């Protein structure tokens, strides 16, 4: 009955088992001890009668003409039988085991010390008996040796007294066990009442209520409630972020869709094929922008922590960056921008290849978008000592003013006076993905104080094994 | 017990009781079915060993058979020692033996129970505590030890009502009573020994009484009947410690016999009955004890059997109830317990008889 056997046992059952099992064992031990004690008490009580009887008999043993004679006092046997219904046996023997009178084959303690009464348990005529033995020297009558008196009675009354005593103590113990069971039952119920209250208050909450649990709870449950509160806090934050994101996204999508609608209405009114064509071209541009916005929103949703845990696997940042850069080369060529890649030693990181590629695409895209022709964009990866790998995208374009560098990382924020039709999501996506990888994102001036250098320091990989997202990812949001 | 004790008892028995064993057979009587009373259908042989005269037992046995007409009843009348020895021999040897053993030799019956020969039995009514032991031995009679006198020859104002009065009478009218007083010879009679030894324990005047009896040239007898016969025909004037049941039976036939229950104390002996562990028909034996110890049987005990009923619920002349009302605390029943065993001890017995003889022939004043 080890409570560890049932991991799904209720706390009440555990407590009852842990409290009542030892109690029952203790009671059983007490009962056994009581039995021994009761038997001892019964023997003590009835042995006194045997003592009085055997002394009365021994006092009446005399020697007449060299022969041992016993004038058995009837009161000696009456003493034994008046209080009990037990059989009585006696034997009087002389020196050298000679038989004088009584029951010739009555067993008794082997050698009694003269003057001292010895008691022993034995079996006689198929019944357990208690035998007292007393030896008296025959010297007063001028004889050698000693007379040995055995007096026995069956154990009936002793056993009855023992049973009575044990039964009484068993009844008392039973009362104790029953009371302890009841008290334990009520105590456990009272002790677990706060949990039931907690359960009720959680159950009665509305599904949207994620406020912390504030009701007072016992110390033992405090940590559990704190953990729940933290979870709810994070859940609330996630939910808030999601709602903000949905609001932002729908707001951002409404603008190009309104443009699309206006442009389409305009085009419908156009009769001139050339003008119609122009309108269609504008429509296409708007559609492209909208489509890009949608895909950016999608990648942002994927990067967001509530979008499901990413599988981080060991990968070489250099190889990945080189591939992404290569893909962007045609777009760079089209804008007459010099896009270069500098890869050092293998830069190993734990990461999601799709998200990392998205990150780098956004950085290159940003640089291409805001840099004038003939600008230089350099993608750089290297393995450093403090951080295992670093990814840098540096350009010599207009850069971002130092006081705007925090804010450009927010969604949909575009520094005032920014040209072009950006959605303001690119760097927000970068930040989101960087956070998911535990990487440190730094925005700085480019070489020679011109342009922008975006730097990502990745933490050291945990090894070849894949691992779950670092606990700090998103926690500081 | 030692061989010597057995011999002594046997010798006593030969003197004190009818010298031969009798068997009374009560065959089944199926015709008794015509009786309208509720009749038991129990059948089978039931063997009883008894040390009580068949004359006393016959009414009981017949009344029992009237209720159980299909039981084949045999009553073996034996001397008390003969009964004991025969029963122990049969029980130890595994031979068929009695289903019920009843005897006035209380000590021997107690010894049978103490030595494990009896089986437990639950009696039908609340018998007095002193009359039963271990739920194995039960007294079924309540017989006082009485003083019997010849009404014609002992004047009413001389009739002794207590031992002290008896002693005074013997001292005052020694010549008149010399050689005409009788009592039990404890050496020859078990019942006599029982009464005399209990007198020795109970009476502070025992030695004087014995000396008084000795001075009156007391005659010693082996049976109550012998004393009653002599009181009836005036060979004796007075007999001390006569079995009340026998005296009552005689008194009904012989108007000369007067009975006194000593007022200082009246010894009461009871005949003990037990069911042997080796009883072949324990069920029938229990039926018999149910009857014997129940009110129906006890009425027969008090009535035609002349044995004094012990059952507290039975009223009548010969009942414990009447004796208690008459004598109250002066009733001294001989307790049914193992203290009776001491008188089976040879040394004890020899010593007691020696003292008794010395007291009888003791210094006369």
Cα A202 to Cα A190, A209, A220: the distances in Å are 19, 10, 18
pLDDT of A315 above 80: yes
Q: Which region among A36-50, A210-224, B159-173 has the lowest average model confidence (pLDDT)?
A: A210-224
Rounded to an integer, what distance in angstroms lies between the CA atom of residue B272 and that of residue B104?
6
Angle at Cα A187 formed by Cα A181 and Cα A190, nearest 5°?
145
> Which residue of B lies nearest to A106 if distances are taken between CA atoms?
B115
The answer to whether the Cβ–Cβ distance between B339 and A87 falls below 8 Å is no
Q: Which of A64, A77, A102 to mutate to test the interface with B (most CBs of B within 10 A)?
A: A77
Rounded to an integer, what distance in angstroms lies between the CA atom of residue B328 and that of residue B322?
10
Using DSSP, state whether A443 is helix, strand or coil: strand
Q: Of B335, B282, B348, which Cα lies nearest the Cα of A85?
A: B335
- The segment with the largest mean pLDDT, out of A22-36, A90-104, A399-413, A440-454, is A22-36
List b or e across A217-247, with b for residues whose CB sees 16 or more CB atoms inside 10 angstroms. beeeeeeebeeeeeebebeebbeebeeebee
Rounded to an integer, what distance in angstroms lies between the CA atom of residue A349 and that of residue A319?
11
Angle at Cα A282 formed by Cα A277 and Cα A285, nearest 5°?
125
Q: Are A256 and A285 in contact (CB under 8 A)?
A: no
**CB-based contacts of A58, cutoff 8 Å, min separation 6:** A134, A136, A147, A149
Listed by number, the residues of chain B in 317-336 with a beta carbon closer than 8 Å to a beta carbon of chain A are: 335
Q: Of B302, B304, B296, B311, which Cα lies nearest the Cα of B67?
A: B296
Angle at Cα B41 formed by Cα B40 and Cα B44, nearest 5°?
115
Under-70 pLDDT residues of chain B: 1-21, 31-39, 362-365
The two three-digit tokens of residue B284, written as one number: 């029938």
Reduce the secondary structure of chain B to three states and give it as a string. Answer: CCHHHHHHHHHHHHHHCCCCCEEEEECCCHHHHHCCCCCCCCCEEEEEEECCCHHHHHHHHHHHHHHCCCEEEEEEECCHHHHHHHHHHHHHHCCCCCCEEEECCHHHHHHHHHCCCECCCCCCCCCCHHHEECCCEEECECEEEEEEEECCCCCHHHCCCCHHHHHHHHHHCHHHHCCCEEEECCCCCHHHHHHHHHHHHHCCCHHHHHHHHHHCCCEEECCHHHHHHHHHCCCCCEEEEEEHHHHHHHHHHCCCEEEECCCCCEEEECCEEECECCCCCHHHHHHHHHHHHCHHHHHHHHCCCCCCECCCCCCCCCEHHHHHHHHHHHEEECCCCHHHHHHHCHHHHHHHHHHHHHHHCCCCC
Residue carrying structure tokens 């942002």 = A300
Q: Is B135 on the interface with A (CB under 8 A)?
A: yes
Q: Is A264 on the interface with B (CB under 8 A)?
A: no
Q: Is A185 on the interface with B (CB under 8 A)?
A: no
Q: Are A118 and A132 in contact (CB under 8 A)?
A: yes
Tens digit of each residue's pLDDT (9 = 90 or more) over A280-310: 888 888 888 788 778 877 777 766 655 445 5
At residue A411, the pLDDT reads 73
In this predicted model, which residue has the larger pLDDT, A474 or A169?
Answer: A169
Partner residue facing A101 (CB), from B201, B335, B346: B346
The answer to whether the Cβ–Cβ distance between A77 and B114 falls below 8 Å is no
Q: Which of A56, A69, A72 to mutate to test the interface with B (most CBs of B within 10 A)?
A: A72
Which chain A residues are Cβ-neighbours of B112 within 8 angstroms? none
The answer to whether the Cβ–Cβ distance between A88 and B348 falls below 8 Å is no
Q: Are B39 and B33 in contact (CB under 8 A)?
A: yes
Partner residue facing A71 (CB), from B115, B335, B351: B351
Helices A11-59 and A74-82 pack at an angle, to 10 degrees, of 170
At residue B364, the pLDDT reads 46
Q: Is A471 on the interface with B (CB under 8 A)?
A: no
pLDDT of A387 above 70: no
Partner residue facing A74 (CB), from B133, B134, B342: B342
At residue B46, the pLDDT reads 94
Rounded to an integer, what distance in angstroms lies between the CA atom of residue B235 and that of residue B227?
9
| Mean predicted lDDT score pLDDT of chain A | 82
The two three-digit tokens of residue A393, written as one number: 């995208």
E strands within A285-426? 313-316, 338-343, 348-351, 376-382, 389-395
Listed by number, the residues of chain A in 92-151 with a beta carbon closer than 8 Å to a beta carbon of chain B are: 100-102, 125-127
pLDDT of A94 above 90: no
The answer to whether the Cβ–Cβ distance between B337 and A125 falls below 8 Å is no
The answer to whether the Cβ–Cβ distance between B114 and A78 falls below 8 Å is no
At residue B147, the pLDDT reads 96
Per-residue DSSP letter, A312: B
Using DSSP, state whether A90 is helix, strand or coil: strand
Partner residue facing B339 (CB), from A81, A89, A100: A81
At residue A4, the pLDDT reads 52
At residue B37, the pLDDT reads 58
Taking each continuous run of H as one helix and of E as one strand, the counts in chain A are 8, 14
Tens digit of each residue's pLDDT (9 = 90 or more) over A195-214: 888 888 888 888 778 888 88
When pLDDT is averaged across residues A47-69 and rounded to a whole number, the result is 88
Per-residue DSSP letter, A464: S
Rounded to an integer, what distance in angstroms lies between the CA atom of residue A150 and that of residue A118?
10
Torsion angle, alpha carbons of A213, A218, A220, A226, to 10: 20
Rounded to an integer, what distance in angstroms lies between the CA atom of residue A66 and that of residue A262?
150
Q: Of B46, B40, B44, which Cα lies nearest the Cα of B25?
A: B46
- The burial of B91, by beta-carbon neighbours within 10 Å (0-12 exposed, 13-18 middle, 19 or more buried), is given as buried
**CB-based contacts of B347, cutoff 8 Å, min separation 6:** A69, A70, A71, A72, A100, A101
Q: Of B357, B350, B187, B1, which Cα lies nearest the Cα of A67?
A: B350
Predicted-complex ipTM score = 0.79
Which chain B residues are Cβ-neighbours of A129 within 8 angstroms? none
CB atoms within 10 A of CB B328: 8
Listed by number, the residues of chain A in 385-404 with a beta carbon closer than 8 Å to a beta carbon of chain B are: none
The answer to whether the Cβ–Cβ distance between B338 and A87 falls below 8 Å is yes
| CB–CB contacts below 8 A, A to B | 60
At residue A356, the pLDDT reads 86
Instruction: Give B341→chain A minimum CA distance, Å.
Output: 8
At residue B106, the pLDDT reads 92
- pTM of this structure: 0.67
- The length of chain B in residues reads 365
Rounded to an integer, what distance in angstroms lies between the CA atom of residue A38 and that of residue A144?
42
Rounded to an integer, what distance in angstroms lies between the CA atom of residue A54 and that of residue A132?
7
Torsion angle, alpha carbons of B28, B30, B33, B34, to 10: -120
pLDDT of A376 above 80: yes
Tens digit of each residue's pLDDT (9 = 90 or more) over A230-289: 888 888 888 887 887 787 778 778 777 888 888 888 888 888 888 888 888 888 888 887
The answer to whether the Cβ–Cβ distance between A127 and B134 falls below 8 Å is no
Which chain B residues are Cβ-neighbours of A72 within 8 angstroms? 342, 345, 347-348
Q: Are B32 and B66 in contact (CB under 8 A)?
A: yes
Q: Which region among A27-36, A140-149, A444-453, B16-25 has the lowest average model confidence (pLDDT)?
A: B16-25
């Amino acid at each position: 009955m080890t409570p560890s056997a049932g991991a799904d046992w209720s706390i009440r059952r555990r407590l009852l088992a842990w409290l009542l099992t030892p109690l029952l064992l203790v009671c059983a031990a007490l009962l056994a001890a009581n039995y021994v004690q009761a038997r001892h008490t019964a023997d003590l009580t009835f042995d006194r009668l045997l003592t009085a009887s055997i002394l009365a008999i021994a006092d009446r043993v005399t020697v007449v003409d060299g022969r041992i004679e016993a004038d058995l006092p009837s009161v000696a046997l009456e003493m034994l039988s008046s209080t009990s219904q037990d059989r009585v046996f006696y034997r009087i023997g002389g020196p050298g085991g000679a038989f004088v009178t009584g029951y010739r084959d009555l067993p008794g303690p082997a050698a009694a010390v003269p003057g001292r009464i010895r008691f022993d348990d034995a079996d006689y005529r198929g019944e357990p008996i208690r035998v007292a033995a007393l030896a008296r020297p025959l010297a007063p009558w001028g004889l050698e040796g000693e007379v040995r008196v055995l007096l026995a009675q069956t154990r009936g009354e002793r056993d009855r007294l023992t049973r009575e005593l044990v039964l009484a103590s068993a009844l008392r113990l039973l009362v104790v066990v029953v009371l302890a069971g009841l008290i334990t039952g009520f105590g456990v119920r009272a002790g677990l009442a706060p949990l039931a209250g907690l359960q009720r208050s959680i159950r009665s909450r509305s599904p949207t209520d994620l406020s912390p649990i504030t009701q007072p709870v016992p110390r033992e449950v405090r940590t559990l409630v704190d953990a729940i509160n933290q979870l709810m806090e994070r859940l609330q934050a996630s939910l808030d972020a999601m709602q903000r994101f949905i609001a932002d996204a729908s707001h951002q999508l409404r603008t190009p869709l309104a443009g699309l609608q206006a442009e389409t209405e305009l085009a419908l009114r156009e009769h001139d094929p050339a003008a119609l064509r122009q309108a269609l071209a504008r429509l296409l541009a708007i559609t492209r922008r909208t489509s890009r916005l949608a895909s950016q929103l999608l990648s942002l949703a994927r990067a967001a922590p509530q979008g499901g845990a990413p599988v981080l696997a060991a990968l070489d940042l250099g190889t990945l960056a080189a591939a992404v850069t290569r893909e962007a080369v045609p777009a760079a060529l089209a804008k007459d921008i010099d896009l270069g890649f500098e890869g050092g030693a293998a830069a190993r990181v734990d990461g999601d290849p799709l998200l990392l590629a998205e990150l780098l695409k956004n950085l290159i895209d940003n640089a291409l978008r805001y840099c004038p022709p003939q600008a230089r964009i350099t993608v750089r990866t290297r393995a450093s000592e403090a951080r295992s790998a670093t990814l840098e995208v540096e350009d010599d374009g207009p850069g971002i003013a130092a006081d705007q560098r925090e804010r450009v990382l927010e969604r949909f924020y575009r520094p005032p006076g920014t040209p072009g039709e950006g959605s303001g999501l690119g760097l927000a996506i970068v930040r989101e993905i960087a956070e998911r990888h535990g990487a440190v994102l730094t925005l700085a001036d480019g070489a020679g104080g011109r342009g922008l250098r975006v730097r990502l320091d990745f933490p050291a990989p945990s090894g070849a094994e894949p691992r779950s997202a670092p606990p700090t990812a998103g926690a500081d949001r | 017990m030692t061989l010597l004790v057995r011999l002594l008892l046997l010798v006593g028995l030969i003197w004190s009781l009818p010298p031969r064993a009798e068997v009374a057979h009560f065959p089944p009587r199926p015709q008794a079915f015509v009786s309208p009373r509720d009749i038991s259908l129990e059948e089978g042989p039931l063997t009883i060993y008894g040390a009580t005269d068949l004359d006393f037992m016959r009414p009981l046995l017949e009344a029992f058979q009237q209720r159980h007409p299909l039981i084949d009843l045999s009553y073996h009348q034996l001397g008390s020692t003969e009964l004991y020895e025969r029963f122990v021999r049969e029980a130890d040897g595994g031979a068929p033996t009695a289903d019920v053993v009843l005897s006035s030799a209380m000590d021997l019956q107690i010894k049978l129970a103490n030595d494990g020969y009896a089986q437990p039995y639950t009696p039908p009514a609340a018998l007095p505590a002193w009359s039963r032991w271990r739920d194995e031995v039960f007294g079924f009679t309540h017989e006082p030890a009485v003083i019997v006198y010849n009404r014609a020859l002992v004047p009413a104002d001389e009739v002794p009502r207590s031992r002290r009065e008896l002693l005074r009478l013997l001292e005052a009218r020694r010549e008149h009573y010399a050689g005409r007083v009788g009592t039990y010879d404890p050496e020859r009679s078990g019942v006599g020994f029982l009464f005399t030894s209990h007198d020795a324990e109970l009476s502070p005047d025992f030695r004087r009484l014995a000396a008084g009896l000795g001075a009156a040239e007391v005659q010693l007898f082996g049976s109550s009947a012998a004393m009653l016969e002599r009181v009836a025909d005036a060979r004796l004037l007075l007999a001390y410690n006569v079995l009340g049941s026998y005296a009552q039976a005689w008194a009904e036939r012989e108007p000369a016999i007067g009975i006194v229950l000593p007022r200082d104390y009246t010894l009461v002996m009871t005949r003990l009955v037990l069911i042997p562990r080796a009883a072949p028909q324990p069920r029938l034996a229990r039926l018999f004890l149910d009857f014997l110890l129940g009110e129906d049987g006890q009425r027969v005990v008090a009535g035609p059997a002349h044995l004094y009923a012990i059952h507290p619920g039975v009223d009548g002349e010969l009942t414990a109830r009447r004796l208690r009302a008459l004598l109250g605390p002066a009733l001294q029943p001989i307790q049914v317990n193992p203290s009776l065993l001491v008188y089976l001890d040879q040394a004890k017995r020899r010593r007691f008889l020696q003292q008794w003889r010395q007291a009888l022939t003791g210094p006369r004043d």
